[in-house]
Structure 1
């Protein structure tokens, strides 16, 4: 009888150990000094960390249907999913989960504002934006337009594109009060703030049988439309660099490099159905969603390609610390 009790106790201890190890399972760490571009691949739910030479450093594979990721400063990674009721935050330098937090289904985007050390969650099912402090404490929620998604912050304001609406909401970051609502085209997507010219640019898919062909330029303080830039077809990914705006138009598989005055400097056909573009040191990097490939471009030419997981949908860049 004593032997049976010891066997049962041993079994319970082993089970507890297994469950604890699963709960605390960590990914391979990414050290703070490491510069990388990370490709979130949403068809096989993985994250590839790649250095500036095009070498895959680590691959994190997930068992959750994450549809987006955001860097919270240099050493934290937040992962979310549109059909998930929880966000997960990992410490990159340890590979371990820092915390999880319950959220409502429908997260479309998470934006981190380094200036205020806050992140903002846009939700398409509640049509809200919610702010959190750097520790994940919920602060305030604001109702906005239909299907908020693309977000960008400048000075004390958060600019939110409502994808299935004809409005852009301008919110005060401190309390998310609505200060302005601009009229914009429906199905707008992609946003960049050009402080040098006091403008905000947005892209978009277009609607129905009329696909969008242009980037719209708005005066940053008033929301007045001041011009358009021809970037066919469906320019949906915009990234501002130190001297240009990078635009990917997934309808024609094109990369456009545009100066701040709205002049196209050059363009290049690249990738299969690209949605995102970013810059890693001297390279412009475009992610091909359908061919699962990253394209490293320098001086207008593709210099190298990197195979990544299926459905490359988002690119995160971090400059390593010394």
Structure 2
């Protein structure tokens, strides 16, 4: 009887261990596979799509992830505003590499390739924290109310405080605050243009007055250089090699500008889009409410791809 009981316990341990391994293993993505991935947050999932518009894999999650970033070419970090940990997966194996405890309130994560570090903002503690690629905490800094959008350039990290009226400029190595610029409340979306030494900011607007412009600031001094009319609520900004892509989710509009801020063309696309990116020769817009990616080329929608509910972020890997 004792031997049978020991065998039962051993078998049960094996089943639990195997279940844990299975739970953390997702469909691998080949290392040389180019993709654009849609993070969908209403029913958390990550759809990987190739340049032909084929869904090559779908990762389904049982956690309420609200954001994701690529860490280099073979890892993805997932976080959630209501979660007390971040998870990092290896793409080529589909397995979880590690989890890291964080405080509830994560609003954004941002990776800086040349530093091999990622940064996490938190709306409960009003802080930004830096980590190395293994998840070791390096530094933390108290900021304004609800830090969220981030961008880096040379030795500076720029952080928009969403529920505040200031942008924080930090030393990227030690996170010491070097400058604070006045900005509009509810600013969101950020792009750095080294060609014109400018930083562009979008936003929702506050209260009953929605925002309808993207503002341009001097990258060194924070002096405002003017604004670009882009109604309504331009919140998703992405710089490419020759353009700036902006989506305004209030009017379901995509705007494409040159680096001086001249709108080259615009197009109505998607239902409630929050994000735009470039993948190969396509501009890709994610429709949050219609759960669709729109692949646009030469000003025309060339194909659409159905994804999970609540397409909210786009991750691009091109080898």
TM-score, with structure 1 as normaliser: 0.97
Distance 1:15 1:169 in 2: 53
Distance 1:181 1:23 in 2: 46
1:289 aligns with 2:288: yes
Tell me by how many angstroms 1:14 deviates.
2.1
Distance 1:22 1:97 in 2: 14
Determine the structure 1 residue equivalent to 2:10. Answer: 13
Distance 1:37 1:10 in 2: 47
Secondary structure in 2 aligned to 1:175? Answer: coil
Determine the structure 2 residue equivalent to 1:216. Answer: 215
- The answer to whether the Cα contact below 8 Å between 1:75 and 1:92 also exists between their aligned partners in 2 is yes
Q: Which runs of 5+ in 1 are unaligned?
A: none
Give 1:263-278 correspondences, 5 Å limit.
263-278=262-277
Q: Could you give the per-residue CA deviations for residues 135-194 of structure 1, whole angstroms, max 9, x where no partner exists?
A: 111011100000000000000000000000000000001100000000000000000000
Tell me by how many angstroms 1:5 deviates.
2.1
Q: How many pairs are equivalent?
A: 317
Secondary structure in 1 aligned to 2:250? Answer: coil
Distance 1:13 1:297 in 2: 56
Tell me by how many angstroms 1:11 deviates.
2.1
Q: Could you give the per-residue CA deviations for residues 98-117 of structure 1, whole angstroms, max 9, x where no partner exists?
A: 11110000000000000100
Distance 1:95 1:163 in 2: 34
Give 1:130-145 correspondences, 5 Å limit.
130-145=129-144
Q: Could you give the per-residue CA deviations for residues 228-277 of structure 1, whole angstroms, max 9, x where no partner exists?
A: 00110000000000000000000000000011000000000000000000
- The answer to whether the Cα contact below 8 Å between 1:24 and 1:97 also exists between their aligned partners in 2 is no
Tell me by how many angstroms 1:7 deviates.
2.7
Determine the structure 2 residue equivalent to 1:50. Answer: 49
Distance 1:254 1:153 in 2: 27
Tell me by how many angstroms 1:17 deviates.
1.5
Distance 1:22 1:42 in 2: 25
Determine the structure 2 residue equivalent to 1:113. Answer: 112
Q: Could you give the per-residue CA deviations for residues 14-38 of structure 1, whole angstroms, max 9, x where no partner exists?
A: 2211221232221011111000000
- The answer to whether the Cα contact below 8 Å between 1:250 and 1:275 also exists between their aligned partners in 2 is yes
Give 1:151-300 correspondences, 5 Å limit.
151-300=150-299
Determine the structure 2 residue equivalent to 1:65. Answer: 64
Secondary structure in 1 aligned to 2:163? Answer: coil
Moved segments of 4+, more than 4 Å: none
Distance 2:47 2:72 in 1: 19
TM-score, with structure 2 as normaliser: 0.98
Q: Which moved more, 1:297-306 or 1:15-24?
A: 15-24
> What CA RMSD, in Å, does the superposition of the two structures yield over aligned residues?
0.7
